[in-house]
Amino acid sequence: MSDKVYSIETVRHSTAHLLAAAVMELYPGTKFGVGPVIENGFFYDLDLPKPISPQDLSKIEKRMRQIIARNEEFVREEMPLDAAIEFFKKMDQQYKVELLTDLKTKGTTKIKPEEQQDISIEKPNIASVYRTGKFVDLCRGPHVETTKDVGVFKLTKISGAYWRGSEKNKQLTRVYGLAFKTQEELDAYLILLDEAEKRDHRKLGAELELFMISPRVGMGLPLYLPNGAFIRRKMEELVAGLEEEQGYQYVYTPHIARKGLYETSGHWQHYRDTMYSPIDIEGEEYILRPMNCPHHIQIYAHRPRSYRDLPLRLAEFGTVYRFEKSGELFGLTRVRGFTQNDAHIFCSPEQIKKEVASLLDLTKKVYAAFGIKDVWMRLSLRDPKDTVKYVADSNKMWERAEGALREALDSKKAKYVTAVGEAAFYGPKIDFEAKDALGREFTISTIQLDFSLPEKFDLEYTGDDGAKHRPVIIHRAPLGSIERFLAFLIEHYAGAFPVWLAPVQASVIPVGKDHWKAAARLEKMLRKEGIRAVANLERDTVGYKIRAAERMKVPYMLVVGDKEKSLKKLTVRVRGVKALKAMTVSSFVSRLRKEIARRG
């Protein structure tokens, strides 16, 4: 065991190798895919000679600990690329051979991030391998010195994963694991993981009947069920109301457009791999749109513009389509069709600061309404030394734009960090970061300045000097995508939505059949008052109906028995509180209206 201090990423990478070494001993003939470091741990993709189940993980862990006890070294070797290909061919490791062959024939462009942990793209003609006992793996490292330097770990789950994320390839077995330096860290994370699993938006989405994925419709194409559709509509109403207060104008645009539109915008050249194949319509090629901005640009350009028209704020809940490999699809967070609360602000360079400051206010209001309080920003700037990514002849525009973003942030006393070199090639941006109820960090949305598209589409406006000028476009979507934001909310609230967002605000529960009419009458009364109430008239016990309402996380349960038949007094049960409260219908309605008004 070494006295060296290793980074947690190095420890996790070495633990992935340890897993593979144990699998090789237990299941001879296994073919190995990739085994990268991920957040809090690692995984390894395996082509096993026989299926394994979660019950086998303890056996694999036991063998991993035996290898640790042997104190085997991690030994690095380098060899020419051709020699490495022959080496892994002899070992019958077809997936390693494929990675190396791709590197040789196609260069580094086809190597994915998780594959780069195996291959050094800095030395494309040299392959490095690591030996741990009898196990040999293609890997660029670094690693710990011996197996005893590996920290504490736990194998957590098994899933299927298509090789290289494509459903055209064989499905491998992916084994996930956690790795930390201390047992205390691992134990704390396991508690967090257990809570995260309870909040998983895919699990809650099914239980609360929010959305579904139909295999007949297609993977990555969610269908909103009535409950989920209601929440989505409330989200859209809130944002649209706030935007219209700030002078946004809503538009509608089609989901397809001619291929040439995306060739002009550059999307076809830069993002073809994530766009769907063209559709032939009467000899012309059309594409499902990957972005809304080219459509909004056409609206700007449909007539001559003056400085008096600016800023022009065009908004749309625009649905876009992007090809995601099946292995990368995940609930609502990685889908193939999604809707953005998109808007594009066409303004003069002098208006950037004021518009961004207004956007900061708008975004703050949106997040506050959804109960998201811990928000900070990241200001992404260009690296002036990187003359390949950032065109040098637009220095003045960059300096003005970056200064405007910084001044807008400072004027609002915003909490932000700067990230030099992380700006897009077409302009600086502000990313909004937030933490959910479990402390997990997310990038929610972005304010992006764009100098490129106005140039590509030759956009102009006539200034007060009578001359033609080029506008700047500000791209922004406070919710990001509706789907991803809804997934965030489901997990943030653990499905227990605040009253204003809850699909059903009150479940009316009759004690017996004799109380059905009173329950139905109460439901009707509450609905007239704008309360979303549903009477449960099933032939079940009161206890069962209460548990059913609790499972659906309904905020209020109203029990109607003999005492309540007159509806002069209600017996109210609040979500998460066992004690019952007595109140009149009017006081109950008043209470809910106050909660809804403050978005409680």
Q: What is the mean pLDDT of residues 144-152?
A: 93
CATH class of 212-253+292-492: alpha beta
User: How is the beta sheet containing 256-258 ordered, strand by strand?
Assistant: 256-258, 284-288, 279-281
* Gyration radius from the chain CA atoms: 29
CA 302 – CA 251 distance, rounded (Å):
14
User: Measured between alpha carbons, how far is 493 from 486 in angstroms, rounded to an integer?
Assistant: 11
In 322-426, beta strands by DSSP E: 337-347, 375-381, 416-420
Q: How confident is the model at residue 2 (pLDDT cuts 50, 70, 90)?
A: low
Q: Say whether 444 sits in a helix, a strand or coil.
A: strand
Decide: 440 and 305 in contact? Cβ < 8 Å.
no
What does the pLDDT look like over 326-358, one tens digit per residue?
A: 878 999 999 999 999 999 999 999 999 999 999
Structural domain 506-597, CATH architecture = 3-Layer(aba) Sandwich (3.40)
Secondary structure of 82-144 in HEC code, one letter for each residue: HHHHHHHHHCCCHHHHHHHHHHHHHHHHHCCHHHHCCCCCCCCCEEEEEEECCEEEECCCCCC
* Residue with token string 């989920």: 228
What tokens does 419 get?
Answer: 């990230």
pLDDT at 400: 85
> What percentage of the chain's residues is helix, strand, coil (to nearest 5)?
40, 25, 35
pLDDT above 50 (res 109): no
Phi, psi of 462 (to 5 degrees): -90, 125
CB distance 519 to 509 below 8 Å: yes
pLDDT tens-digit readout, 376-416: 999 999 988 887 777 655 778 888 889 999 999 999 999 99
pLDDT at 212 over 70: yes
CB contact set of 420 (below 8 Å; sequence gap of 6+): 381, 382, 383
Q: What percent of the chain has pLDDT over 70?
A: 96
Q: Mean pLDDT of all residues in the chain?
A: 92
**Cis status of the peptide bond prior to 311, with omega within 30 of 0:** yes
Q: What is the pLDDT of residues 467-509, one digit of tens each?
A: 999 999 999 999 999 999 999 999 999 999 999 999 999 999 9
Q: Which CATH number fits domain 8-189: 3.30.980.10, 3.40.640.10, 3.40.50.970, 3.40.50.10540?
A: 3.30.980.10
Beta strand 256-258 with 284-288 is antiparallel
Helix or strand holding residue 357 (H, E): helix 352-369
Long-range Cβ contact pairs of 432-436 (< 8 A, separation 24 or more): 432/363, 432/367, 432/375, 432/376, 432/377, 432/478, 433/375, 433/376, 433/377, 433/378, 434/367, 434/372, 434/374, 434/375, 434/376, 435/374, 436/488, 436/491, 436/492
Confidence of residue 114 (pLDDT cuts 50, 70, 90): low
Detail the residues annotated as belonging to a binding site for Zn(2+): 293, 344, 475
Each domain of the chain, given as residue ranges in start order, spans: 8-189, 212-253+292-492, 506-597
**Predicted pLDDT at 71:** 94
Active-site residue numbers?
293, 322, 340, 342, 344, 429, 475
